[in-house]
A and B are shown apart, each in its own frame.
Chain A
Amino acid sequence: MEPIVQMKGITKRFPGVIALDHIDFDVRPGEVHVLLGENGAGKSTLMKVLSGAYTPDEGTILLNGKEYSRLTPHISAEGGISIIYQELSVVNWLDIRENIFMGRLPMKKVGPVSVVDYATMNAKTQELLEKVNLSSRKPTTSVGDLSISEKQMVEIAKSIAFDAKVIVMDEPTSSLTEEEVQKLFAIMRQLREEGKGIVFISHKLSEIVEIGDRITIMKDGGYVGTYQVADLTTDDMVRMMVGREIKGTYQHLPEENFQFGDVMFECKNLTRKDGKVKDVSFSLRRGEILGFSGLVGAGRSETMCAIYGAAPKASGEVWLEGKQLSIKNPYQALRQGIGLVTENRRETGFFQNFSNKRNIAIAKQLKNAKLDGMWGFTNEGEEKEVSEKMRQEIQIKCASLEQLTSQLSGGNQQKVILGKWLGAGVKLLIFDEPTKGIDVGTKSEIYKLIRQLADNGVGVIVVSSEMPELLGLCDRIAVMAEGRITAFFDIADATEEKLAKAATGDIA
C-alpha cells in the first residue's frame, strides 16, 4: 500500500554532531510503526523534522504524493500529521471542547457578527469522546481535572478532530498503569482499523511486541533498519539498538589482584514520598565506582536527591562509614561529607554572580560555619588557598580565579564544581550525568579525576544515561526501572545489551 508519508535519506546536522544520518522512514495507512532507539538516538529529532519544527540538511519527504525538501509546521498539519508529545500539550485551565477545537472554534453568524457555535462544538466533542472511550466525561469538564491517561485521550480526540492521517505518539505509555495502557492500545487498534498510520515510540519491548506491526531501529543518529515486528525477538531489538562498538574514550583497567576495601556507604530500602523511588538498596565499597544505569525517569537522579537530602524520604536508612545518617537537607549532607554534582550545572551547580574562587570556596566555608552555615567569617586567605589548590590539582583552565565561573567552558565549570566538593573534603561524591554537554577531551580528564577520587578512598557513585561511559568508568553497575533497582552487574559481565534489557524492566 502507498505510504502516507515517506522520509528518505533524512540528514540533520547540529554544530559538532550529526543528529540524523540518512534515515529512511515511512508510515503506511492502517499500521502501527514502532520507532526504537536509546536516549539520544535521534527519534525525537526525526519526529521534529516530520512536524516541520526542524529543517533537514539532506533528504526528501513525500507527503500525500507530493515531494518536499522540508516541511513547515503548517504543511505538516495540513498534510494530516499529528504529534502527541510525552509532555502533553493540553491546556489545563480550558475545558475538553476548547482544548479539542483550540484555534479552530466552529463559528456561526448571529446577524452581522460571528460568534462561537457552542452547540456544534458540544455535539462534536461528545462524538469524539465516545470514540476514544471517554464518554464518562462531559465536553465542558476542565482538562485540569482529568488523569494523565484521560488527557492523552483528549489529545488523540484532537488529532481525530483535525482529521489526522498519521498520529505520532512519543512514549505515550511511560506514565500509564497497565490497565490504562490496555485502554490506549484498544484505541490504537481501532484507529488502525480506520486506516490511520500510527507511529509508536516506546522503550518497553513487551508493548512493542504486543501492538507493533513494523519497527524502525535507530542508534546514534544512524539508521539500523526497518523490519516486521513479528520477525524479531526482543533480544534482536536490544542488540540492534545498542550494538555499537564502545568508543575508546576511557576504559578503566583494574590492576591485577586489586581488592576493594570495606563497605563504606550503604543505602537500605530507600523509598520516596512521591513514589519515584521504591525500596532501593545498595552498598558501595571503598575504592569502587558504582554506576547507575536506566532510562530517563527511571528514578536514578531521584534516588540520589533523596540520599543527599534535596528531596524528602518516606523510609529507608543511609549509612556512611558505619554510622547511620539522618539527612533532611543538603546542608546536613554537606556536614556529613556527602556531595552531589548535579546534572544541570547552570541551574543547580554554581553561582553565575560568583567568581571561580568563591564558587570553589563556598562549600568548605559553609561546612566550617556554625549555626546551619550562617555564622562564621569569610576568610579571604583561606578562599584563595583552597581555590588555588583546586585549580592546580584538577587543572581548571581559567584566566584568573577572579573570573566569573559563568564565562568558562562547560568542562571547566564542571571542574570548578568538582573543586568545590573536593575542597570541602567529601567522603562520598555522587555524580549525576558528569559529562553532559562536555567536549570529548575534557570528558576523559573528568573520567580520570573521578577514578582518582575512588583510588584516594572517596566513595563514588555515577549516574549516567551514556552506557559506554558507565562501562568504561565503573566497577559495578546498578540498573533502575520505574523507581526500583532491577539488576546489578559486575563490570566483567556487564554489556550494553544486558543493561538495556534490565532498563526496560524485564528482569534478566
Chain B
Amino acid sequence: MKEAQAKKFTFNDYWDRYSTITILVIMIVVFGILRPTSFLTGGNLIKIVEQSSITILLGLGEFFAILLGGIDLSVSSTMALSGALTAKFMAEMGMHPAVAIILGIFVFGALIGAANGVLVTATGLPPFIITLGTQAILRSLVYIITDARAVSGLPATFSKSIGGKLFDVIPVPIVVALITAVVLTFLTTKLQCGRNMYALGGNSQSAWYAGITVKKHTILAFVISGICASLAGMVNIARLAAAEPNAGTGYETYAIEAVIIGGASFFGGIGKIPKVIIGGLIIGVINNGLNMVGVSSYYQQLAMGCLLILAVTLDRFFGASRKN
C-alpha cells in the first residue's frame, strides 16, 4: 500500500488546524489598530488574560461534557456553591485556606460532578435536562447557605495568593488555568480514560460493544467538569475577596462558547484541550476590546453571538476533518 502521499497543504487543512488561533490573532490585530495605545498595552493584555481565566477554567470542564456529546449547564452554579462553601469554611469556621480549598475542589466539586453523572447515567435522560435541573438546585443551595448575602472576611493570605500575581506580573488565576489545562491535556492524549471518552463521544453504541464502561466514563467526565468549575469558584472568591451568591450567573454560556469556538464538535468525539484556552481568550478579547473601542455593553452579546455562529459555520465549510 502507498504510504500517505505528500499531499498539497490546502486552506482547508490550515483552517482545520489553526482556525481558533487565527480568529484570536485577527481580533488582537483589529483592536490593536483601532486602539493602539490602550488595547495593546502590557497591562491591558494581562488584564484580559486574568479576566479570561474563569471562562477558561469553566470551559475546560465543559469540554468533557461536550466531548461525550452532552452538555453541563450546572458549571456556573457549581462554581458559586463551592466558592461559597470554601469562603464559609475559611471566614466563619476559621479553617486553614489550603484545607478549605482542597475540600471545596476535590470533595464538593467532585461530588457535585459525580451527582450529575450518576443522574445522567441512572435516568438515561439527556444531560441538558439533568444539568438544567441541577443548575437551579445548586444555585438555590447557594442562596440557602449564604442567606443570599455575600460571604466576606476571607483570610488575606488566601486572596493574595490565589487572586494575586506571580512575580508581580503573571496573574495566579491564569497559572491555575494553565496547570489545569496541562493536566487535562495529558489525560485526554496520554491516558486510556481520555482515549475512551473520545470513543464514547464518537459513537456510544460502538463504545459499549467495544467494552468501554460507558457509565463510569460518563460519571468521570462530569466529575472533571465539577472539579474545574470549583477551581473557577476558588479563583472567583479570591479575586473578589468575597463569595457572592450571584457569582457566575450565566457563565455556563461563556464556557460552552469557549469550547465551541475552540473547535470542539457539539455532537461529541472531536476537540482539543489547548483550543479551549484560545476559545476563552477570544471571549476575553472581544469583551475587553469592545469596551476599549467604546462600544456599548449592549452590543457585546451581539458580537459574541455573531462570532459563535460565524466560527462554527466556517468550521463546517472549511474544516477538513468535518467532511466525513
Q: Which of A340-388 contact B (CB under 8 A)?
A: 340, 342, 347-354, 358, 362-363, 365-367, 369, 372-378
**B191 pairs with A378, CB closer than 8 A:** yes
Distance in Å: Cβ of A360 to nearest Cβ of chain B: 11
Q: Mark B193-210, 1 if CB is under 8 A from A, else 0.
A: 111101101110111111
Pairwise interchain contact A376-B206, C-beta atoms closer than 8 A? no
Beta-carbon contact of B206 and A398 below 8 Å: no
- Does A310 lie within 8 Å of B213, measured CB to CB? no
CB-defined contacts of B306 to chain A, threshold 8 Å: none
Produce 1/0 per residue, B158-174, CB < 8 A to A. 00000000000000000
Q: Which residue of B lies closest to A424 (CB)?
A: B211
Could you tell me the distance in whole angstroms from the C-beta of B2 to the nearest C-beta in chain A?
7
Stretch at the interface among A80-88, A207-215, A401-409: A401-409
With contacts A376-B191, A404-B324 known, is A399 near B2, CB below 8 A? yes
Q: How far is the CB of A334 from chain B (nearest CB, A)?
A: 4
Known contacts A329-B213, A347-B206, A366-B211; A397 and B1 CB within 8 A of each other: yes
A366–B35 CA distance with the chains assembled, in angstroms: 53
**Residues A406 and B324 in contact, CB atoms below 8 Å apart:** yes
* Contacts A351-B206, A353-B198, A353-B201 given; does A363 touch B192 at CB 8 Å: no
- Work out how many contacts link A and B, with CB atoms closer than 8 A: 108
CA–CA, A372 and B216, complex, Å = 9
Known contacts being A331-B212, A348-B205, is A378 close to B2, with CB within 8 Å? Answer: no
Q: Is B44 an interface residue (CB 8 A)?
A: no
A141 within 8 A of B: no
A446 within 8 A of B: no
Q: Do the beta carbons of B208 and A366 come within 8 Å of each other? A: no
Q: Does B269 contact A (CB under 8 A)?
A: yes
Given known contacts A348-B205, A374-B217, A369 and B4 CB-to-CB distance under 8 angstroms: no
In the assembled complex, B189 has its CB within 8 A of some CB on chain A: yes
Contact B209 A374 (CB under 8 A): no
B211–A375 CB distance below 8 A? no
What CA separation (Å) do A331 and B200 show in the bound complex? 14
Q: How far is the CB of A412 from chain B (nearest CB, A)?
A: 11
Closest beta carbon of chain B to A476's beta carbon, Å: 26
Interface SS of chain B: helix
Residues A331 and B198 in contact in the complex (CB < 8 Å), given A352-B203, A372-B216: no
Q: A348 with B206: in contact, given A334-B211, A374-B196, A374-B216 (CB under 8 Å)?
A: yes
Contact of B202 among A330, A347, A354, A372 (CB under 8 A): A354
Given contacts A352-B203, A353-B270, contact A330 B211 (CB under 8 A): yes
Closest Cβ of chain B to A355, distance in Å, is 11
CB distance from A415 to the nearest CB of B (A): 13
Decide: B209 and A398 in contact? CB cutoff 8 A. no
Instruction: Give the complex CA separation of A274 and B208 in angstroms.
Output: 20
Q: Which of B3, B4, B194, B199 contacts A354 (CB 8 A)?
A: B199
Is B8 in the interface zone, CB < 8 Å from A? no
Interface string of A310-326 (1 = CB under 8 A from B): 10000000000000000
Is the pair B324, A366 in contact by a Cβ cutoff of 8 Å?
no
Residues of B within 8 A of A365 (CB): 192, 195
B220 contacts A by Cβ under 8 Å: yes
Q: How far is the CB of A420 from chain B (nearest CB, A)?
A: 8
The answer to whether A400 has its CB under 8 Å from any CB of chain B is: yes
* Residue pair A373, B202 in contact (C-beta under 8 Å): no
Verify B193–A375 contact, CB threshold 8 A.
yes
CA distance A342 to B220 in the complex (A): 27
Report, as a range, how many residues of chain B touch the other chain: 20 to 34
**In the complex the two chains form, is A399's CB within 8 Å of B196's CB?**
no
Residues in A278-310 with C-beta less than 8 Å from chain B? 310
User: Chain B contacts of A367 at CB under 8 A?
Assistant: 211
Asked whether A378 lies within 8 Å of B194 as measured between CB atoms, the reply is yes
Q: Please judge, given known A-B contacts A347-B205, A400-B4, A407-B324, whether A373 and B191 are in contact too, CB under 8 Å.
A: no
Given contacts A331-B213, A399-B2, contact A349 B206 (CB under 8 A): yes
CB under 8 Å from chain A, chain B span 164-190: 189-190
- The smallest beta-carbon distance between A83 and chain B, in angstroms, is 31
Q: Give the contacting residue for A398; candidates B1, B199, B203, B207; CB below 8 A.
A: B1
A362 touching B216, Cβ below 8 Å: no
The closest CB in chain A to the CB of B2 belongs to: A399
- Inside 8 A of B198's CB, which chain A residues have their CB? 351, 353-354
A499 neighbours in B (Cβ, 8 Å): none
- How many whole Å from A395's CB to the nearest CB in chain B? 9
| A335 and B211 alpha carbons, distance in the complex (Å) | 9
Tell whether, in the assembled complex, residue A373 and residue B212 are in contact, meaning their CB atoms are under 8 Å apart. yes
A372 to B212, CA, bound (A): 8
- Whether B1 pairs with A352 at a CB distance below 8 angstroms is no
Closest CB of chain B to A6's CB: distance in Å? Answer: 45
CA distance A376 to B193 in the complex (A): 8
> CB-CB < 8 A to A351: which residues of B?
198-199, 202-203, 206-207, 269
Q: Looking at the assembled complex, report how far the CB atom of A342 sits from the nearest CB atom of chain B, in whole angstroms.
A: 5
Cβ contact within 8 Å between B191 and A366? no
**B93 smallest CB distance to A (angstroms):** 35
Q: Contact partner of A374 among B190, B193, B199, B202, CB < 8 A?
A: B193
How far apart are the CA atoms of A378 and B210 in the complex, in Å?
Answer: 16
Q: Are B4 and A399 in contact (CB under 8 A)?
A: yes
**How far apart are the CA atoms of A333 and B208 in the complex, in Å?**
12
Asked if A330 meets B195 with Cβ closer than 8 Å, knowing A374-B216, A399-B4, the reply is no
Pairwise interchain contact A377-B202, C-beta atoms closer than 8 A: no
Closest A residue to B189 by CB, please name it.
Answer: A378
CB < 8 Å: which of A334, A350, A354, A374 contacts B192?
A: A374
Instruction: Judge whether A366 and B196 touch: CB under 8 Å.
Output: yes
Q: Are B211 and A331 in contact (CB under 8 A)?
A: yes
Using A310-B208, A333-B211, A378-B189 as known contacts, say yes or no to A358 and B195 having CB atoms under 8 A apart.
yes
Whole-angstrom CA separation of A404 from B198 in the bound complex = 14
Q: Separation in Å of the B184 CB from the closest CB of chain A?
A: 15
B50 to chain A, nearest CB (A): 34
Q: Would you give the 0/1 interface string for B24-60, flagging 1 where the beta carbon is closer than 8 Å to chain A?
A: 0000000000000000000000000000000000000
Instruction: Enumerate chain A residues within 8 angstroms of B211, measured Cβ to Cβ.
Output: 329-331, 333-335, 363, 366-367, 373
B218 shortest CB reach to chain A, Å:
12
Q: In whole angstroms, what is the CA distance A352 to B270 when docked?
A: 10
**Distance (whole angstroms) from the CB of A306 to the closest CB of chain B:** 13
How many Å lie between the Cα of A232 and that of B309 in the bound state?
Answer: 68
Within the complex, the shortest CB–CB distance from B254 to chain A, in Å, comes to 26
Q: Which residues of A contact B191 (CB under 8 A)?
A: 375-378
Q: How far is the CB of B101 from chain A (nearest CB, A)?
A: 26
Q: Which residue of B lies closest to A397 (CB)?
A: B1
Residues of A within 8 A of B324 (CB): 352, 404, 406-407
Judging by beta carbons under 8 Å apart, are A366 and B206 in contact?
Answer: no
> In the complex, A240 Cα to B58 Cα: how many Å?
68
> How many angstroms between the C-alpha atoms of A277 and B94 in the bound complex?
63
- B216 (CB) vs chain A CBs: closest residue: A372
**Among residues 212 to 263 in chain B, which have CB atoms less than 8 Å away from a CB atom of chain A?**
212-213, 216-217, 220
Q: List 7 A-B contacts (CB under 8 A).
A: A349-B209, A354-B198, A366-B212, A374-B196, A376-B192, A377-B192, A407-B324
8 closest pairs, A vs B, by CB?
Answer: A334-B211, A353-B202, A353-B269, A369-B192, A400-B4, A374-B193, A376-B192, A351-B202
Beyond the given pairs A366-B210, A399-B1, 14 more chain A to chain B contacts, judged by CB atoms under 8 angstroms and listed by A's residue number, are: A330-B211, A331-B211, A334-B211, A349-B206, A349-B209, A351-B207, A351-B269, A353-B269, A366-B196, A374-B217, A377-B192, A397-B1, A399-B4, A400-B4
